[in-house]
Chains A and B, each alone.
Chain A
Amino acid sequence: MRATTAERARALEKGTVLLICLVAWLVPGAGHLWLRRVQKGLTFLVVLPLMFGVGLALQGRIFPFEPSQPLVALAALADLGIGLPYFIAWLLGYGAGSVVAVTYEYGNTFLIVAGLLNVLVVIDAYDVALGRK
């Protein structure tokens, strides 16, 4: 059965919204920039990677996915929330963490919260894309 023009338009819209969410996750603030919320997008683009970078500088750890340790796996999921900076840090070998460093726990907190804040930013971009905000 062929889709009507309206159905195709709706499907395209849905696809675009998903793409916006994906881009918003990968590059903090990019979803808002796409949706022409320039001031918000630029703020997220600066603040969130900076917070992640501070977490790395404080010798925080990018946690591995270890299903046998649920809290570590949850922390890993939160770290992943920041998107592209997570993969860049991983590729460059940052985020090994130093347990003996005074700032280790602070660094972890900055890394985890930066990821979780980006998840909130993605949800906000989703709402904006759907016209709820």
Chain B
Amino acid sequence: MTSHFGLLILFALFVSTVFAVLQRDTPAEQARLGALLFGGFVVAALVLGWLLYPFPLGS
């Protein structure tokens, strides 16, 4: 898998899992925080991507 979005999803999955397990003690709370963090990562990346879209890549 070499697509930027696929690797972004994988990265967000790893990081949100570790953060959620570190910060919460029960599996239910961990799942809730993990989902929130994962969604936050993906949505933030998409929003930033669209915000940067008008800017040229440069020559």
Report which A residues bind B (CB closer than 8 A). Answer: 39-40, 43-44, 47-48, 50-51, 54, 58, 102-103, 106, 109-110, 113-114, 117, 120-121, 124
Report how many A-B pairs have Cβ atoms within 8 Å: 38
Interface of chain B: mostly helix, strand, loop or mixed: helix
| Contact residues in B for A48 (Cβ distance below 8 Å) | 18
Q: When chains A and B are docked, how far (Å) is the Cα of A120 from the Cα of B18?
A: 9
Nearest-neighbour CB distance to chain A for B19, whole angstroms, equals 8
Q: When chains A and B are docked, how far (Å) is the Cα of A124 from the Cα of B15?
A: 15
Nearest-neighbour CB distance to chain A for B31, whole angstroms, equals 12
Interface range on chain B (Cβ under 8 Å from partner): 10 to 19
* Interchain CB contact under 8 A, A44 and B7: no
Q: When chains A and B are docked, how far (Å) is the Cα of A7 from the Cα of B49?
A: 58
